[in-house]
Amino acid sequence: MRESLEHLGRFDPERARRRLLDRFDAGCTRHVRTAQGRVGFVVLRERPDGHWLLDHLYIHPDAQGAGLGAAVLAALFAEADARQRDLHVGALRDSRSNHFYARHGFTLVEQQAWDNLYVRRAAAA
Task: Sketch out the chain's domains with CATH numbers.
Answer: 2-120 (3.40.630.30)
The phi, psi pair for 69, rounded to 5°, reads -60, -45
Say how many C-beta atoms besides its own lie within 10 A of residue 29's C-beta.
Answer: 14
Tens digits of pLDDT across the chain (125 residues): 556 556 566 666 777 677 777 777 889 999 999 998 999 999 999 999 999 999 999 999 899 999 999 999 999 999 999 999 999 999 988 888 999 999 999 999 999 988 999 999 999 86
Task: Spell out the residues 6+ positions from residue 119 whose beta carbon is closer than 8 angstroms to its own.
Answer: 51, 86, 87, 88, 89, 106, 107, 109
State the pTM of this model.
0.84
89, 53 contact by CB (below 8 A)? yes
